[in-house]
Structure 1
Amino acid sequence: MVLTNPWLAGPSPTKRLDRERLEERIVNLLSSQNMCVLATAGPDGPLATPVRYFHLDFTVVFTAVGTSPKMRNIRADPRVSIGVFAPLVGQASSRGAQLFGAARILEPGDADFDRYWSVVRWQSDHVERSRSLDEPPVGPLGVVPAERIVYTEHWLRREGYAPRQFWRNTRPGSHAMQED
C-alpha cells in the first residue's frame, strides 16, 4: 500500500518546539480562523457554543447578548475552554488548539473594554443588517486570556516534533512561557 504521508506512520515524535515557534503557530491559527467552540458550565451541565471570535495575542474576544446562556454561565463560573480548529481534510492537516482560562465579561465603560473592543470587527454585521456604521453596537464583551493552550498540528511530525505541544502563561499579564 502506498502511503501519501509516510511520516504519519509509526510512533509520534516527542520533541518540543521552542516557545517562539510555538507561539507563532498558535497566533497563526488564531489569526486564520474566526469560529471557535466555547465550553462553559451551567446549572444544566456543560454548554458548548459555536462563537465567532477575535483575538489579541493569546486572548480570545467575543460578543454576545448579556442574557445568553453562555454569558449567564460565565457569570456563575468563569472557567471556560475554547476549541479552535482549521478545516480537516486528512490527518496531515489536523490543526487546532484548546485554550483554557477564566472569562471576564466587560461592559462599555469598564477598564480594558475599549482595548478589547478595538479588535472586534462589527462593521460587516451592521452592513448585513442594514444598520448605520455611524452607530456601533453597545453591549458586553467576553474576554478570555489563555492560561494554558494545548496546540495540535500533525504536520509538525514531518520535522520530528510532537504533534501535541503545550503552552502555559505562567505570569498573568506578562508574555507567556511554554510548559515542559
Structure 2
Amino acid sequence: MPLTNPWLSGPTPNKRLDRERLEERILNLLSSQNMCVLATTGPDGPLATPVRYYPLGFAVLFTAAPRSPKMRNIAADPRVSVGIFAPLVGLASSRGAQLFGTARVLDPQHPDRAHYWTAFRWENEHAERGRPLSEPPEDTLVVIEAERIVYTEHWLRREGFAPRQFWRR
C-alpha cells in the first residue's frame, strides 16, 4: 500500500528548531486562528471553555462576562492553559500549541489595558450584536502572556525536526 506521507513512518526525529524559526511558526499559528480552548480550575474541578481570542505577540486576549464560570475560576487561580489548533485533515496537518501562563484581568481603568486593547477587534463583536461602532465597549479584558508553549507540528518531521517543540519566555 502506498504511503501518502512516507516521512511520517519510522522513528520520530528529535532535532530542535532554532528559537527564531520556532517563534515564527508559533506566531503564524496564533495569528491564523481565532478560537482556543481555555483551561481553568475551580472548586468543581477543571473547566475547558471555547473562547474567541485575538493575539498580540505571544499573548492571547479575550473578553468575558465577570460572573462567568471561567472568570470565577481565574479569580480563584489565575494559572491557565490555552489550547490553539489548526483544522486537522490528517496526521501530516496536525498543528497546534498549548500555552501556559497567568491570566490577568484588566478592567477599563487598568493602566496596561490600552496597550492590549489596540489588538482587540471589538468592532466585529459590536457589529454582530448591532451595537454602534462609535461606542467602544468597557468590557473586562483578559490577557494571557505565555510563559511557556508546547508547539506541535507534524510537518516538521519532513525536515528532520521533532514534531513537538518547546518555547519559554
In 1, the alpha carbon distance for the partners of 2:65 and 2:115 equals 20
| Equivalent in the alignment of 2:63 | 63
The runs of at least 4 aligned residues of structure 1 exceeding 3 Å deviation read none
Q: Deviations over 1:62-94 (max 9, x none)?
A: 111111111111011011000000000000000
In 1, the alpha carbon distance for the partners of 2:75 and 2:111 equals 17
Describe the SS at the equivalent of 1:103. Answer: strand
In 1, the alpha carbon distance for the partners of 2:74 and 2:131 equals 29
In 2, the alpha carbon distance for the partners of 1:57 and 1:106 equals 18
Describe the SS at the equivalent of 2:96. Answer: strand
Residue 117 of structure 1 aligns to which amino acid in structure 2?
W
* Pairwise CA distance, 1:119: 0.8
Unaligned runs of at least 5 residues, structure 2: none
Work out the number of aligned pairs and report it.
Answer: 169
Please give the residue correspondences for 1:15-26 in structure 2 after superposition, counting only pairs within 5 Å.
Answer: 15-26=15-26
Per mean C-alpha deviation after superposition, the further-off stretch among 88-97 and 118-127 is 118-127
* Pairwise CA distance, 1:47: 0.4
Please give the residue correspondences for 1:5-16 in structure 2 after superposition, counting only pairs within 5 Å.
Answer: 5-16=5-16
In 1, the alpha carbon distance for the partners of 2:146 and 2:125 equals 26
In 2, the alpha carbon distance for the partners of 1:16 and 1:159 equals 11
* Pairwise CA distance, 1:122: 1.1
Describe the SS at the equivalent of 1:49. Answer: strand
Unaligned runs of at least 5 residues, structure 1: 170-180
In 1, the alpha carbon distance for the partners of 2:128 and 2:144 equals 27
| Equivalent in the alignment of 1:173 | none
RMSD in angstroms over aligned alpha carbons? Answer: 0.6
| Equivalent in the alignment of 1:105 | 105
Q: Deviations over 1:129-153 (max 9, x none)?
A: 2110011111111111101000000
In 2, the alpha carbon distance for the partners of 1:69 and 1:89 equals 32
| Equivalent in the alignment of 1:39 | 39
So what's the TM-score if we normalise by structure 2?
0.98
